[in-house]
Chain A
Amino acid sequence: MNLKDKIIRRNKVHTGESGFRLLIFISLLMYFFSGCSKEPIREVPPPKPPAPDTSKVTYENGIFVVNEGNYSRANASVTYIDNKSDSVYQDIFRSANSRGLGDVAQSMKVSGNKGFIIVNNNDRIEVVSLTDFKTITSISGFNSPRYIEFVDSTKAYVTNMRKNISVVDLRSLTIKKTISTPYWTEGLLHFGQYMFVTCIGSFNEPSADRKAQVYIIDTQTDMITDSILMGKEPVSITVDRKNKIWVICTGGYDNYEAPTLKRIDPSLMIVDKSFTFPVQQGVPSRLCINPTGDTLYYLNNGVFQMSANATELPTTALIPANGRLFYGLGIHPQTGQVFVSDAIDYVQSGKVFKCSQASGQVLNTYTAGSIPGSFCFTSSSKK
């Protein structure tokens, strides 16, 4: 839509005919007055850097960076980093489907040849084929969805900020039923016959009144069978190789209490270990585990690494933030490399750093979309 180029081009073609020129001038004027032809005036997303031909790529062996985008701006996107070539593909959902992904993409998970992208502020999950990233279907009807976890090839659970947990039938790709919880549920962990779900509490209550806990759901009956009390805002959950379950609790949006890292013994359904973070040193989040299941990682301004056998919290970061706004964290299930994202200012295109698991040294830097929040590793990269 470059007016100047058009003037130059048109004038070159029609030099010398003054009457004709006048006509062109008038029509250009009209074009200008009518506000740029009939093309709607919409936000132009960031230009995509040259990437290898998308028609030759499939999305079956790599890393998806889920970029939240800004609330109400509907600029969520997915960036793909190919494992083999290390090439980066920006905004692959838009490229494949000729439309934006939506408003606030929270997370993504892969099951078989399908990707499930949770679009929080559209109450929707986009199910895409990993062959070409085209939408297979959009499942709607969630209540501000957060995360998905698969029970098996037929069933998945989705946590919601409002009301309940949704149970998705993976054959029909519809919500089969809901498990009602009065509270905001967040992290999910599939453990044996059970789903462990962290629960933060309700919006309308102050931290003091929020009942933070982990629900244990029997995946055969879809019933909550037990619950374990947690610290305020248990946001992420994972399991180590000794089958101990780990939960990070932020302590509350208002710093109601000190953040904690808690360990659950699922055989006894009790918290058997609890580490308290020093107050005022940050708010931990994004708990991850390495492929061998013996080392935990989390964000607390920088990236921290901690042995599952440790008796104390680490005091120095593996990867210090140094002014960067670390926002998302993932551990490559094959290589164990640390992927951490920098949301910069929550608006401009974020960055992703691939770091060595031993030294934390940055091995590569990739550009992502706006607010890169979570990572999804394809299952084929799991050996």
Chain B
Amino acid sequence: MEVRANLVPDNSGYKKVKFDSLILLPYRDADLSTVLSQISTIFIKSYSPGSLATTSFRGTPANHTQVEWNGLSLSNPMLGQSDLSQIPVSAFDEIEVLYGASGLTKTSGAFGGVVNLVTNPDWNNRIHASIAQTFASFDNYTTEAGFIGGTSSFQSHTRLNFTSAVNDFSYYDDFTMEKVTQHDAEVLQYGITEEAFWKLKDKHLFTARVWYSYDDRDIPPVVEGSATYYPQKMLNKTLRSIIEYKLVERSWNFSLKTSLVNQFMNYRNDSMFINNDHNCYTSFTSARFSWTGVKNLTIKPGLDYTYDYVKSDAYSGVKTRNTLGFYLEAGYRFNDHIKSQLILREDYLDGAFMPFIPTLGLEYKPFNKINLYLNANASRNYRYPTLNDLYWELWGNPDLKPEYDNGLEGGITYNYPSPSGKFFIETALSGYYSWMHDMIVWSPVPVNPSVWKPQNVSEVNARGIEASLNLKWKVSKLQITSSNNYTFCRSTYQKTTSPEDQSLGKQLIYIPEDTYNGTLNLSCWNFILGYNLTFVNKRYTSPDNQSYMPWYSLSNIIFGKSINLHNFVISLQVKVNNLFDVDYQSVTNWPMPGRNYSLTVRFEFKR
């Protein structure tokens, strides 16, 4: 029986969770926000179908989660964050979630963590072709196709996805007190990725990747009767490319990666006479060397260089940014039980050295035969202001300091694969405490309350607990899998500047204290029945915690059947989302759909 361990204990002292392609299979018609909200501990703040979806990871604001595609940041350098609703799950194979300080192996500045979307070659593959069509409620259609082919030394992955969504769901309007239909929520999205992997003598690995995506959408209205709607549109065209070379020797290896990204965005609001183009070019180059010449010691020095070039209608003139990052990672294995990993980072940003980032992690495995791991780390992290924070015309603040975070984290993971291979259990419990300072908040300027400027005003403490339990059990023909995640998060304002401000010690807005998600899948004779439950507790909507959105829970079910015919697989999948037709809002005044359905037909050819 195949064991799909979620928790990856390879980073000593740091938490990392992986979701592989089998776990992601039922979500291939969805976007990243849907999958993360249903199976990970990251909280997703989703406004409305077809609209923005952002993250809150470990009680941090959205710009503290970095989303990457094979190590390349997907964030827009202007905003410093990405819209998860624009990332289709079908564009990659696996998701790695790097919690807190663990993300420092990838980048600085993500206090919450890093979500890395990964595609790796399977050298045993010859031909794997697939095409799937999804028909869903509210005139939503998704087509996704892939061709993966090659030899034991060369593999090519080609993927296409196309989504057209009208999102004309109906909902109850509390203001007009009648059922209305959502409008101006259309999305047209397509993308193509090509990835080629070439291996030479098991020593050299060349990788080239290109991803083009196009996303044209309306910005939907809030609840119809509550406000006058003025049509707004957003167009995103993005081209990303990565070339990577890796050389593997016996006691050392070396990798060099270089990438180019162009992100074009247009925002249009005719009623306000706004029609702005934002064009960002980013070049990212990363070199890593890894040396294991001395027993028990691994040393990985590295250099990262990022160049951002932004031409935006919202900035006066072209703005650029150079970031040179010095990186050193040292892993030391004291004995069979104790390992440690030290990460040092120093960034040189536009001609100035930024504060030093040291992080130390420890792993303790008390027993030889029991897969029990204790992890702890202490970290420091810095996040630099976004280009919007610095340069937005009239309101940007070039004097901003970086935000910084001191964090402590500890956790315990345990897994047990039964000798017969019929049963597998995995559980993890972790706790963290994070002291965030100089947090940048756009707030009114005292001399002119109608002008908002970003300022280093806020201090936030975030602490929480994450617990997960994954099970896999085979009872004759029936296979049962279940995953469960619970998080507790207290993220509080620690500083106030106004005498009447009542927010001191109160929970940050739109960050729930408790979330839970669980899935239970039963499969037998190529039938699959899955149930997913997400629970989101109360979210405060004002910093004084006087107003709030009540808790809600959503249930989804999935039923599928696949038929194998020689090299062909035909599968059908039916999903019912929001099974109990809960009338809810996630963000105040943004409508959400009730019960809705989708049907996916998939053809696969494998040889």
Residue numbers of A with Cβ under 8 A of B are 1, 32-36, 38, 40-47, 72-75, 99-100, 102-104, 121-123, 144, 162, 202-204, 250, 253-254, 280-283, 285, 301, 321-327, 342-351, 370
Assess the A323–B497 pair: CB atoms within 8 A.
yes
- 3 closest A-B pairs by CB: A204-B273, A46-B546, A35-B582
Task: A201 to B135: give the CA distance in the assembly, Å.
Answer: 49
Assess the B585–A33 pair: CB atoms within 8 A.
no
> Could you tell me the distance in whole angstroms from the C-beta of B425 to the nearest C-beta in chain A?
23
Whose C-beta in chain B lies nearest to the C-beta of A45? B547
Assess the A103–B533 pair: CB atoms within 8 A.
no
B222 at the interface (CB under 8 A from A): yes
Further 10 A-B residue pairs, CB within 8 A, beyond A43-B588, A102-B226? A1-B551, A33-B553, A35-B554, A41-B584, A41-B585, A43-B549, A47-B546, A73-B588, A203-B273, A347-B542
From known contacts A283-B450, A323-B498, infer whether A35 and B273 are also in contact, taking CB-CB under 8 Å: no
Kindly identify which residue among B503, B549, B584 contacts A345, using a CB–CB cutoff of 8 Å: B503
Contacts of B500 in A (CB 8 A): 324, 342, 344, 350-351
Whose C-beta in chain B lies nearest to the C-beta of A233? B450
Contacts of A350 in B (CB 8 A): 500
> Could you tell me the distance in whole angstroms from the C-beta of B457 to the nearest C-beta in chain A?
10
Kindly identify which residue among B227, B499, B541 contacts A322, using a CB–CB cutoff of 8 Å: B499
A-B contact pairs, 16 of them (CB 8 A): A33-B553, A40-B583, A42-B174, A43-B548, A43-B588, A45-B547, A47-B546, A74-B223, A100-B226, A122-B226, A122-B228, A283-B450, A344-B498, A344-B500, A345-B501, A347-B542
Kindly name the residue among A100, A254, A344, A350 whose own CB sees the greatest number of chain B CB atoms within 10 A.
A344
B419 at the interface (CB under 8 A from A): no
> Could you tell me the distance in whole angstroms from the C-beta of B518 to the nearest C-beta in chain A?
11
Kindly name the residue among A203, A204, A325 whose own CB sees the greatest number of chain B CB atoms within 10 A.
A325
Contacts of B447 in A (CB 8 A): 280-283, 301
Residue numbers of B with Cβ under 8 A of A are 172, 174-175, 177, 222-223, 226-228, 271-273, 394, 443-444, 446-451, 497-503, 509, 533, 535, 541-544, 546-555, 580, 582-585, 588-589
Chain B binding surface SS class: loop
Kindly identify which residue among B177, B394, B449 contacts A326, using a CB–CB cutoff of 8 Å: B449
Assess the A44–B550 pair: CB atoms within 8 A.
yes
Contacts of B583 in A (CB 8 A): 38, 40-41
Contacts of A102 in B (CB 8 A): 175, 226-227
From known contacts A36-B582, A40-B174, A74-B589, infer whether A345 and B443 are also in contact, taking CB-CB under 8 Å: yes
Contacts of B449 in A (CB 8 A): 325-327, 343
Task: A162 to B549: give the CA distance in the assembly, Å.
Answer: 34
Assess the B584–A35 pair: CB atoms within 8 A.
yes
Kindly identify which residue among B450, B497, B509, B580 contacts A35, using a CB–CB cutoff of 8 Å: B580
> Could you tell me the distance in whole angstroms from the C-beta of A372 to the nearest C-beta in chain B?
11
Assess the A36–B553 pair: CB atoms within 8 A.
yes
Assess the B228–A43 pair: CB atoms within 8 A.
no
Contacts of B448 in A (CB 8 A): 250, 282-283
Assess the B498–A324 pair: CB atoms within 8 A.
yes
Contacts of A44 in B (CB 8 A): 547-550
